Structure 1
Amino acid sequence: MTIPRQSALIALALLALVAVVHGQAVTFGFVMDDWPQIGDSRLRGHIPLADIFLKGVWGSSVDRLMSDNYRPLFSLWLEAIARLFGPSPAAYHAGAVLLHGANVLLLWRLAGRFASPIAAALGAALFAVHPALVQSVAWVSGATDLLMGLFVLLAVLAHLRWRDSGRKGWLAAIAVAYLAAVLSKEVALVLPALLFTLDRQRGVAFKASLNLAVLAVVPVLWAVLRANALPATGLESNMAFDLRGWTRLADAVAFSLQASVFPWPQFYHLTVEPAPLTSWLVVPALAVWALVAWFARRAMVPLVWFVLFLAPPMVLAFHSVHAWNFRFLYVPLMGAALLIALCRPAIIALAVLAGAVVSPLVAADWRDDGQFYAMVRRSDPASESGYAGMLMHYRRMGNVAGQEEVLAAAVKAVPNPRAHLAFMVDYGNFLTQRGRPRESAAIFQQVAAIPEGRRAGLLGLGVSLWAVGDLPAAMTAFDEAAELAPGDQRIADIRERLRRVMASKAIQ
């Protein structure tokens, strides 16, 4: 078989594998962040091009959340699909699967520079079906990782062509791909370090590597654009580089290594808490990594690739939220795939088979909001986000019974005082709206007994008592609420309406 024909067959086989394992995503709906950015956004499909580069990633969404994310190419990707295909989720998911397929092919071409054609194909195949990557492929908002990965691979391939040919045009191509990667996701800022490592592996003179200094213009340009697009968020103040944070960092690294090898069970995010034993185990693991990277020249680039692109999100261990996500692994696992390509083909083939079986099962949790938030509730029953998201899903579906089930469960399960109070108020309002004021009155009495919720509890209690016909008790509740908030016009209007009703009944 000729080499071109063999290459064509391998490429078709890899694309077929991506289609079989991830093709079901085309039937999926929007999940979580997809709604404010796409599904519920009236602006999507009509956003001026300038706004895409002059605002943050949430700038044109329904929920204009405080965020320090500046990812205009991701926003451009969403806008282009909306204009070409409309608001259908299928188009966004098809685009994500195609992006993943393109990344698999590029990774295969890159792996072919380090390993045999069959081993390179198997390494790319493992990347294609790795269960840890499902979140990035099956979730529309996860396309940031797909886009960043695409341009990182293009930059690395352009770098190799530049070193092989010496043509300056390839250096310009590297700069363009680097800028595109950074504008897709800021994690790509570390790319020059990878290119420098690649030079070290190939024996390029240090002086020749200094030509990469021209890439410094990209972070500067990104910083200027980001500063212009985003106001000072104050999110940096939530970072604390204390001992607890360093311990969480070690745990996050350990979990990343575990998830790279055994990515099950899965969840949306993991709130990492310090575990001293795990932290100590990371130290020898990193020592082994450093020794292998130093002495095994062929493994240097894959290992550095994995660590470089994993490092930026690991900084979240010092953040007040300290959450870990599977999508953090998308680009790092490209490096792991290059390393795997150096292993025995039989071992890789078994891993590919396992991934092809497990990934579709994992993807089922991303089919729609219902499946997704059910997964969130399973993985973290005490987290308010699972209940809040499922409640929103049932409201969109018009599922009244589902709403009641979620609210009742949240009131029992959520320990966070502020979130628990909010769910109690929502539950009381829900019962009032469903014509069950006596039950809602019992809920609002509990709310009113909580100092932080006294005003909301009294207001809800007054409405419930009014609904059951106990007007004097309702007025008493409203009067107490008014004393707590003298300038609240809403309470004043309700009291006035109730006075008129009571006066009318007195006349009758």
Structure 2
Amino acid sequence: MAERSKPEEVLEGKSSEAEPVTMGTATLFGLERRTILGTAAIILLTFASYIPALRAGFVWDDTIFTEDRAIAEWSDIWRIWFSPAHVEGEGHYWPILYSTLWIDHKLWGFDPVGYHAVNVLLHLANSLMLWCVATKLRIRGAWLIAAVFAVHPVHAEPVTWVIGRKDLLSAFLSIAAVLSWLRFEETEQRRSYLEALALFTAALLSKSTAATLPVALLILAWYKRGRITVSDWKRTAPFFAVSVALTLADFLFYRSREAIQTDFTIIERIFIASRAIWSYVGKALWPDNLAVIYPHWDVSPANPIGWLFAIAAGGTGVALWRFIHRIGRGPLAGAAFFLVTLTPVVGLIDYGFLSFSFFADRYQYLASFGVIAVVVSAAVHAKDKLPLQLTAVAVVIASSVLVVFGALTWQHASNYQDSETFFTYVVSANPDAISAYTNLSVAYLEQERYEDALEAALSGLDRYDPDNRANADPHASLNNNAGIALASLGRTEQAEQQFRNALRVEPGHEKALENLVKLLEANGRYAEAAVLLQNSGEATADTLSNAGLEQQEQGDHDAAELSYRQALEIEPDHYPSLVNLAGVLKGKGLYDDAAALYRAAMEADPDGFEAPLGMAQLEVDRDDYGSAEEFYQRAHQIDPTQSAALAGLGALRNTRGDYEGALELLERALAITTEDADVYAARGVALFYLGSVDEAIADLERAIALDPVMQQPRDNLEAILQSLDQPSSTTAG
């Protein structure tokens, strides 16, 4: 049997002087054939695994840049950097992330294919750069580590979800910073050091969880040399300074925009963190049953499982340290990197997603390199101890892992095709994910699938647990979505109850309030709508004016007057309120006050028809027929398609005895509409005096039929019939 070569001592963190095994000396563009083939293989594996990502759409938080349109304008690039509040849905200051999305928009608008392609390319670049890092650190199985990283299913979430680019981009810049750092350690060139510091700064401006990189650099120093020297601390000091400054600035900005605070105790947070760490390890080793939102677990100190996870976490660290002389520094360094990189997102501090789940696959995107490197290196080390005839078996196993991981990644990436597919997957993986039911019902509402939307919303309401302290997502949105679906299905009473339930749970829920107001107004309940808005401090001039109209129709003129005056307090030039209030005051005989309001309305809207018409009618009541005719003419000039002004002018002609002129005007009015009682009432008078008595009677009866409460045509008809000595059939009632 041929003598086996001595394996590299990578698990001990020692740099071997042995040359790496190559496939030959042939080169292309200065690259060995082994490197070229390895790169090609990783490219093939990556794109084969992520074909579904290229067919995916925008889902969930992608609305931050698609609906809020934070990247749509050319000028948005300035606001992204210097007016971060412009990105309305984002609580952090991550300008480099949104700058890349802005560039995407300028290249392909809101076509999701381009955005997803960039994400896949970033992931590919990260995989290749990690190969470089592992090679420089002489970690055994460097290519296999990169290949596993490229196809690992836990990475499907940040790669396939467009807004997950923050994890990809932050990792890309962090890995590039490490490569520059390693080059600096090799050459001592100041340029490489500054490149590393600049790249790290950029990583923080992509996602602030990159803040742990300076600690990772110290872990790297310990891994390579077995100690951390004063020089190491001095060299990393600027990195720590930048990390603290930018992370603190982002934290303060985040706190100014997001009011997130849970009431977990220190013990509970330790339980959350320890189990989260093991959950991440479990998904890295066995990526089955992946979910976007994992269920919360019991963190009560009375739960013994929490203590077991915490003890296991501490015990593992102690064991890795105690056996360092046997297994080398590699496992402890990998575990330390994994733990340190995850520290910002294991629940020790509050962050937004904590209310949804205690861990998420995307958070271990870069951290997983530590676990993958340790496991693969150990596997390669074990393979080297096998007889040569079993080496092929090891290759088959490694290839099978890559194929299975790639297939699982394909499957997981397929869940991001659209909102319906995505949120259906989320609730199937975690039936208690309340926010997913909310978003699923929205997806159905957008497709006008109201029955499905109602079912999704009610399912979420059935599963809502009010005792879950971590669940900061109240069910008001579910009530609101159920209300929309019910209203669209014509079940208005149930819809109203759902909207009211939403406001009971969350009194400031803007959409539920808006939808309830719309529902009430659609059913003519303007006064109720106005009260709701007033109580919430959201009353508008339009709503109050509509309430006034409803109160007028109900005969409550005092309440109507109050509503109109409240509307004018909000908007002094509100045309409908000026006109309607003038009408109320005119009805009360307050002609001067009414006239002042009509004139104010004509100033507010010179093209408004109702104000000069109302003013003309007021002047008739004051017997100023000349002014009345002037205002009727003005109203008719503004809108010749309205019959009311012609009816008024015709009535004035009757008053002056010009019945022929009146008849001509009234005929023109009837050409516009045959449903105006005033026109028939006035024409009946003109026809009577012109000797067409039967026609006059017919017009007056028509006027009464159109408007039974009009008294003038009744009086005129009674007078005509009495003059003819005929009984009236219309005087009763």
Deviation at 1:215, TM superposition (A): 2.4
- Residue 390 of structure 1, CA deviation: 1.8
1:264-286 C-alpha deviation (Å, 9 max, x unpaired): 21222233432531441342343
> Is contact 1:47-1:60 (8 Å) kept?
no
2:334 is aligned to 302
Equivalences for residues 183-332 of structure 1 within 5 A: 183-203=205-225, 206-209=229-232, 210-219=234-243, 221-223=245-247, 226=250, 232-233=256-257, 235=259, 237-238=261-262, 240-270=264-294, 271-274=296-299, 275-292=303-320, 295=324, 296-315=328-347, 321=355, 323-332=358-367
Give 1:136 shift.
Answer: 0.8
Counterparts of 1:236 and 1:453, CA distance in 2? 18
Question: Does 1:338 pair with 2:373?
Answer: yes
Measured against aligned partners, the alpha-carbon deviations of 1:222-256 in whole angstroms (never above 9, x if no partner) come to 25864896673464754654332222222222222
Structure 2 distance, partners of 1:104, 1:194, is: 18
User: Counterpart of 2:188?
Assistant: 166
Deviation string, structure 1 residues 116-171 (Cα, Å, up to 9, x no partner)? 77x21111111111111111110001111111111221222222222222222221
Corresponding position of 1:31: 59
Contact 1:441 1:465 in 2 (8 A): no
Whichever of the two has the greater Rg, that structure is 2
Cα displacement string for residues 171-199 of structure 1 (whole angstroms, at most 9, x for unaligned residues): 11221221122111111111111111221
Aligned mates of 2:439, 2:708 — CA distance in 1: 46
Greater shift, 415-424 or 348-357, is seen at 415-424
Does the CA-based 8 Å contact 2:49-2:406 persist in structure 1? yes
1:35-50 pair list within 5 angstroms: 35-41=63-69, 43-50=71-78
Cα distance, 1:506–1:75 mapped onto 2, change above 3 Å: farther
> Which residue of the other structure, out of 94, 106, 129, is the alignment partner of 1:71?
94
**What is the Cα-based RMSD across aligned positions, in Å?**
3.7
Between 1:251-260 and 1:221-230, the stretch displaced more is 221-230
Counterpart of 1:356 (choices 394, 402, 406) is 406
Residue 89 of structure 1, CA deviation: 0.7
- C-alpha distance after superposition, 1:83-120 (max 9, x if no partner): 22222111110000000000111111222234577x21
- Following the alignment from structure 2 to structure 1, what is the Cα–Cα distance between the partners of residues 319 and 165? 34
- The answer as to 2:493 corresponding to 1:441 is yes
CA deviation map 1:343-383 (0-9, x unaligned): 23435444323211211111122222111111222234344
Which structure has more RCO (C-alpha within 8 Å, separation ≥ 6)?
A: 1
Taking the TM superposition and a 5 Å limit, the aligned residue runs for 1:360-399 are 360-399=410-449
Q: TM-score of the superposition, structure 2-length normalised?
A: 0.60
Q: Distance in 2 between matches of 1:198 and 1:402?
A: 53
| Aligned-partner Cα distance in 1 for 2:501–2:125 | 58
Q: Is the alpha carbon distance of 1:224 and 1:505 closer, same or farther for their aligned partners in structure 2, counting shifts above 3 Å?
A: farther
- Equivalent position to 2:48, from 15, 20, 25: 20
The answer to whether structure 1 residue 403 and structure 2 residue 431 are counterparts is no
1:84 matched to which residue of 2? Answer: 107
Retained in 2: the 8 A contact 1:310–1:328?
yes
Distance across 1 between alignment mates of 2:202 and 2:403: 34
The answer to whether structure 1 residue 496 and structure 2 residue 548 are counterparts is yes
Higher helix share: 1
Amino acid in structure 1 at the alignment position of 2:298: E
- Is the CA contact 1:54–1:229 (under 8 Å) kept in the aligned structure 2? no
Name the aligned partner's letter for residue 82 of structure 2. L
- After the TM superposition, which of the residue ranges 20-29 and 453-462 deviates more from structure 2? 453-462
> SS of the residue aligned with 2:479?
helix
1:430-469 paired onto structure 2 within 5 Å: 430-434=485-489, 436=490, 439-445=491-497, 452=504
Q: Distance in 2 between matches of 1:41 and 1:128?
A: 32
User: Contact 1:293–1:304 (CA<8 Å) still a contact in 2?
Assistant: no
Q: Residue type of the partner of 2:169?
A: L
1:15/1:101 contact within 8 Å kept: yes
SS in 2 for 1:315: coil
Query: Residue 505 and residue 477 in structure 1: after superposition, are their counterparts in 2 closer, same or farther (change >3 A)?
Result: farther
CA displacement, residues 378-400 of structure 1 (integer Å, 9 cap, x when unaligned):
23434431122123323444444
Residues 466 and 483 (structure 1), Cα distance of their counterparts in 2 relative to 1, 3 Å cut: closer
Distance in 1 (alpha carbons) for counterparts of 2:120 and 2:536? 53
> In structure 2, what is the equivalent of residue 95 of structure 1?
118
Structure 1 residue 414, shift from structure 2 partner: 3.9
Q: In structure 1, what is the equivalent of residue 599 of structure 2?
A: none
Distance 1:399 1:338, change over 3 A: same
Asked if the contact 2:281/2:371 (under 8 Å) is kept, the reply is no
Counterparts in 2 of 1:449 and 1:314: CA distance versus 1, 3 Å: closer
Which sits farther off after the overlay, 244-253 or 273-282?
273-282
Question: Structure 1 residues 293 and 329 mapped into 2: Cα distance closer, same or farther (>3 Å)?
Answer: farther
Segments of 5+ residues of structure 2 without an aligned counterpart are 1-22, 26-31, 381-393, 468-472, 556-705, 711-733
1:175 to 169, 187, 197: 197
Taking structure 1 as reference, are residues 170 and 300 closer, same or farther at Cα in structure 2, changes over 3 Å only? Answer: farther
2:478 corresponds to which of 423, 434, 438: 423
Q: Which residue of 2 aligns with 1:60?
A: 86
Match of 2:656 in 1: none
Correspondent of 2:127 among 85, 104, 109: 104
Instruction: Give percent identity, aligned residues only.
Output: 20
TM-score after normalising by structure 1: 0.84
Bigger drift between 254-263 and 314-323 goes to 314-323
- Give how far 1:46 is off: 2.2
Q: Is the 8 A contact 2:486 2:495 kept in 1?
A: no
> Partners of 1:15 and 1:261 in 2: how far apart?
23
After alignment, is 13-22 or 487-496 more displaced?
Answer: 487-496
Provide the C-alpha distance between the structure 1 equivalents of 2:481 and 2:284, rounded to a whole number of angstroms.
40
Change (3 A) 1:18 1:279: farther
